[in-house]
Structures are given as structure tokens and as C-alpha cells.
Chains A and B, each alone.
Chain A
Amino acid sequence: MRAAPTERAAAALAAACFGLAAPLAYVGQRLFERARGGVADPTLILWEAHTAFYWRAGTAAWWAGVIAIGVYALARRRAPTERVTRALAVALVPIAIALVVVTWWYP
């Protein structure tokens, strides 16, 4: 049984939103850690367990999943318009550049 085009379009948009939301959630968590803990001292990192990476990645994937499910639920009722997907495509490039800059300055 094939899904209806509206449902498939909603699922495709939800997948794209997952791909965009996961890095944003990850970087958001990292910035929160940095804001809470201050600037890292490299000499202290020598003893850092740093399994935080696994948790950060897992939590970011969970948030992205929640956002994707929300987007799917909304887009299923009304198929996403071309305007929405084009806006997302236009937003994706500066967001990707911002991700690189932010993770470079606040590793």
C-alpha cells in the first residue's frame, strides 16, 4: 500500500526538518554547557571524561525527532507549499555556515 502524496510530502519535509533540527539542538546544548561552565581551561580538559558527547548527540537526535513528528503532524493536514520548502532551503545555507562558525569559536 502506497502512502498518499500529501503524507509522503509531509514525511519528506519532516525528514528535512530532522536534519536541520538535530545540529541546531546539539549546538544549542553545547552553547548552554559553555554558558553554564564558562570558557574551558585546556589543562582541565586533560582529566575530562567527556562522555557528554554521546548524551549531547542522543539528546539532540531526540529533540530533532520530536520536532520532525510535530512537523509531520502539521504538514499531514495541509500539504507543505513550495514556498515553505524554498524558505527552508534558503535558510539552510546560512544556518550551516553559522554552525561551522559557532562550533569553531566555541568548541
Chain B
Amino acid sequence: MNVPDLVTSVHGIVGVLALAAMIHPAIFLRDGRPLSRGLRLSLGLTALVTALAFGMGVAIYEDYRAIVKRPLFVRDPAAGLLFETKEHLAFAALALVLGAAACALLAPRARRDLRQLAAVGFAAATAITLTVAALGLYVSSIASFASVTSRSAGASLPEVQSHGAQVAQAGQATSGQAGASATASSSPQPSSPR
């Protein structure tokens, strides 16, 4: 197991932990009671774990882009686009959690409505994070660091990146041939990078 693969696994585990953590304030803030010490701690930890999960995703994004993304699009373009959806929704979930946590922590004791607003924010973030987790699991079943690098076990990172590029080019060549035979050169395939 290489470092990006390990970080991806931990990112997934922390992400699921964040999902579990944000359910708690969504339930306990819904009646707008003033915050107990435990609930304050829960809000802080939920924001922290969510930010950690997002931060780890951002940290491995460069390697993911270089090594996994191209083979992912070659194997299943629809799954590649779902990964795009996942990253958009992850940002939405992070923003909602941070906003809701700050809203609940800052609300004066008498303002139940603000804490109930925070509860709705956490509920929306939970639903979005559930979608993110499902998409993450699905996409990683198509292509991941482990599945791409297992074919070049023991290789250095540049070699693995080169392997990813070769996989992408092989897929491109295959789709180019298929496209050429199907359309009889009526629509040329893209052959050069932007």
C-alpha cells in the first residue's frame, strides 16, 4: 500500500465518521434548546472532522488527478463525471456544516429559531454527505490508487503516473478505432490535448 492509497483509505473512513457526527447535531438541535457543554463539544468535533475529511481529499487531489483520474475516465466516463459531482457536493457539505456549527454556537440563549435553522443546515449537510459517500464508494470500485498502481507494483510515483498515461492512451486509441469504424471518418476523434 503506497502513501496516496493509505491517505485515500483514511479519507474515506474520516468522511464516514463526519457523516455519523453530523447526524447528532441535526437531531439534538431540532427543538432549539440552549446548548449543553456536550452539544458544544459535538458541534466543534463535527466541524473539525468534516474539515479534516475535506482537507484530506484536497491533499490527495493532485496525485489522484495525475494517477487515477485518466484511467477512471477511460474505464467508465460516467463514473468520472460522478467523481466531479462528488467533489462539488463535498464542498457544499463542508460549507453547510461550518455555517450551521457557527450559527448554533453564536446564537443567543433565547433564540431557539437560530438553533433550529442550524439543525436544518446539519440535516441538509447529512443528506449531501450521504450522497458524497455513496458516490465515493462507487467511483473507487471503478478505479482507485490501489487498482491502478497494483498493475505497476513496486514502481515509483513517476512510473505509476506514466502507467496511468499509458492506460489512458490505450483507451483513447481503442475509442478512436471504434469511432472511426462506426462513423466511417464522418466525425474526427479528438487527438490532441487542449
Chain A residues within CB distance 8 Å of chain B: 5, 8-9, 11-13, 15-20, 22-23, 26-27, 30, 40-50, 53-54, 57, 60-61, 64, 82, 85-86, 88-89, 92-93, 95-96, 99-100, 103-104, 107
Given the complex, which residues of B lie within 8 Å of A47, measured CB to CB? 193-194
In the bound complex, what is the Cα–Cα distance between A38 and B32 (angstroms)? 45
**Cβ contact within 8 Å between B113 and A86:** yes
Per a CB cutoff under 8 Å, which of A12, A17, A18 touches B107?
A12
- State the main secondary structure of chain A at its contact with B: helix
The residue on B at minimum CB distance from A68 is B99
Q: Which of B84, B87, B116, B127 has the most CB of A within 10 A?
A: B84
In the bound complex, what is the Cα–Cα distance between A30 and B118 (angstroms)? 26
**Binary per-residue interface labels of chain B (82-104) against chain A in the complex, 1 for a CB within 8 Å, 0 otherwise:** 10110111011001111110111
In the bound complex, what is the Cα–Cα distance between A46 and B190 (angstroms)? 11
**Cβ contact within 8 Å between A19 and B73:** no
Q: Return 17 A-B CB contacts under 8 Å, by A number.
A: A12-B107, A13-B103, A15-B102, A16-B100, A16-B102, A16-B121, A19-B121, A22-B91, A42-B73, A43-B172, A43-B189, A45-B73, A57-B91, A85-B117, A92-B120, A92-B124, A96-B124
Chain B residues within CB distance 8 Å of chain A: 58, 61, 65, 69-70, 73-74, 77, 80-82, 84-85, 87-89, 91-92, 95-100, 102-104, 106-108, 110-111, 113-114, 116-118, 120-121, 123-124, 127-128, 131, 168, 172, 175, 189-190, 193-194
The residue on B at minimum CB distance from A95 is B124
Q: Shortest Cβ distance from A65 into chain B, in angstroms?
A: 11
The residue on B at minimum CB distance from A49 is B65
**Cβ contact within 8 Å between B194 and A44:** yes
Given the interface pairs A16-B117, A43-B190, A47-B194, the reply to whether A26 lies near B102 with Cβ below 8 Å is: no
**Cβ contact within 8 Å between B128 and A44:** no
**Cβ contact within 8 Å between A107 and B95:** no
Per a CB cutoff under 8 Å, which of A9, A44, A46 touches B74?
A46
